[in-house]
Amino acid sequence: TLYLSRTDLGDAGRPQTVRLATESDVPGIVTRAAENKQTLFEIDPFWEQHSDADARFTGWMNRSLTLRDRDMMVMGSPENLNGYVIAQPASRLHFPPAHDITGTGVIDDYYHPDLANPTVLANDGEGATMLLRAAEAAFADRGMGAAFVVCPAKWRSKIAMLDAAGYETAMVWSIKR
């Protein structure tokens, strides 16, 4: 798994096609997350989905809506959600204690159908990039100066989109088999 990062988050603000998520968006987020998990599984069986994954993720998304340290954003109407991104602060899961993490944001829960094919980016990644830019704007609004995106090393289309958006590999997380 790659952690791709960028330090210049710009000041363009959130794209108008992206809005803050509400409770009515959770079913659509869960549906898109299931698509994301299927792509992850196609990339590597390590990411096999648990039978309770959708129910657990629904609970987590509803809980996340109440957390003030993150921004949950979506594209599209609740009935036809095109994608989602969650911009959250870095945690000790991501960095060892010696590092100051206060100025770093993490994008882990993030999906748009532009990324559905792990080898070929659809629509030049337009929708996925808009969600990414919205997350960057949310980080900048919170005074964060850096962001990183968690991405499987074999998800070539997502890596290409992130590379085009100015991200570089900062860290590699490996599975010992």
Q: How does residue 18 score in pLDDT terms, banded at 50, 70 and 90? A: very high
Q: Are 122 and 114 in contact (CB under 8 A)?
A: yes
Q: How does residue 174 score in pLDDT terms, banded at 50, 70 and 90? A: confident
d(CA 155, CA 153): 6
**Of 106, 39, 19, 29, which is closest to residue 61 (Cα–Cα)?**
29
d(CA 84, CA 104): 20
pLDDT at 24: 98
pLDDT tops 90 at residue 50 = no
Question: Can you give the residue ranges of every domain in the chain?
Answer: 2-172
pLDDT tops 90 at residue 171 = no
Superfamily of domain 2-172: Gcn5-related N-acetyltransferase (GNAT) (3.40.630.30)
Which residues, in sequence order, are CB contacts of 83 under 8 Å at separation 6+?
Answer: 32, 74, 75, 76, 111, 112, 113, 114, 127, 128, 131
pLDDT, mean of residues 33-39 = 92
pLDDT in tens, 70-120: 999 999 999 999 999 999 999 888 777 888 888 999 999 999 999 999 999
Beta bridge partners of 88: 106
